[in-house]
Amino acid sequence: MELVEKPFVITEYRARCYRDRRTGQIVRAPLPPAVVAAGLVGPRLSAALAFQKAACHMSYSAIHTFWQDLTGLSICRGQLVKVVQKASRAIRQPYEELREALRHEDRLGIDESGHQNAGKRHWTWCFRAQRFTVFHIAPSRGSDVLRAVLGETFGGVIGCDYFSAYQKYMADSGAIVQFCMAHLIRDVRFLAEQSDACLARWGEKLLGWLRKLFHTLHRRDRMSAPGFARRMEAIRQGFLKQVRHPPSRAEARTLAARFRGREADHYFTFLTTPGIEPTNNRTEQAIRHVVIDRRVTQGTRGDAGMRWCERAWTVLATCAQQGRRAFKFLHDALLAHFTAQPAPSLLA
């Protein structure tokens, strides 16, 4: 395998000028519409530049240096910004299509992470469905974002952590929730590692019940359905009995308060609803790319940058879920945009 010395072709287009014999005015012959729409950079190179910006966490300076040093192709930072914004407009429709489809999903994993925009705190929300993922950047971390994206009511099951925004949306909308058991394990392990012996013993007993729960869950295929149900119910009751009798410590009482009454059921939705996972790990894995990007690029500087990020991240995550090449999708979307054709869809 070898890399060719000059992996690009430059095509020059000339628009001839004519004089109208009747009026004497100068008339310029039109260039092909797709060439005018693309500008100086064609669809494949535009897709490559957009891919480097979105998937490789590269700055405009790094992209400029890459092409200049590797191929001798010089593209200034201003031109790179224009290319990325064209790519953002090209994938806008597929993004909006996925965002609208979120309201009709039967289950969603949701998580959020910080985002810096022009020095101000924002939040990147991640909504992971079975076949696609949508990112949305908002200035709020509250339940108002959930209402704006999912509507006042949501008929599916939401997998999430115990953050207050999800609790409020659950109470206002009546949504069914599966609180992440992985987050619960971290909280319990934190208590089990405390220097307070009484608190640590209580935390260790809770960890024991959670170990039994996941051990039984992993053996589900080797058990009969009635036997699995009986075993899991016994574990659930044992855990609830333990967690509802905390030692007289503030940390223990705070954890125990989560399991008062029917609120405890939201940790065990996966036992009664087929297809629901007990953890929100897949959503956390999807948002990891965003966290890395934030640390490398230090965020965005305006609304256009935020819209590009949420659309590009959505394309990358969804293509990975569907086994599609993100570069090819970017190229197809840009080609459709330049030729005034409908954008390709990410709804599989």
If you ran DSSP here, which 8-state letter would residue 223 be given? Answer: S
Half-sphere exposure of 302 (CA within 13 A, CB side): 3
The answer as to whether 224 is a domain residue is yes
The answer as to whether 50 is a domain residue is no
Residue 223: the pLDDT is 94
The answer as to whether 219 is a domain residue is yes
Q: How far apart are CA 172 and CA 168, in angstroms?
A: 6
Locate 315 and state its tokens.
């394309």
Taking the model in full, what pTM does it have? 0.93
Residues of the chain with pLDDT under 50: none
Residue 217 structural domain: 181-272
The answer as to whether 235 is a domain residue is yes
3-state secondary structure (DSSP) of residue 316: helix
Q: How far apart are CA 238 and CA 233, in angstroms?
A: 8
Phi, psi of 217 (to 5 degrees): -60, -40
The answer as to whether 124 is a domain residue is no
The answer as to whether 250 is a domain residue is yes
The pLDDT tens digits for 81-114 are: 999 999 999 999 999 999 999 999 999 999 999 9
Nearest-10 crossing angle of helices 60-71, 77-90: 110
The answer as to whether 112 is a domain residue is no
**Percentage above 90 pLDDT, the chain:** 97
The answer as to whether 259 is a domain residue is yes
| Domain tally, the chain | 1
Q: Is 163 exposed, middle or buried (0-12, 13-18, 19+ CB in 10 A)?
A: middle
Q: How far apart are CA 60 and CA 80, in angstroms?
A: 7
Residue 54: how many CB atoms within 10 A of its CB?
25
Locate 102 and state its tokens.
């979120």
Element (H, E) at 331: helix 326-338
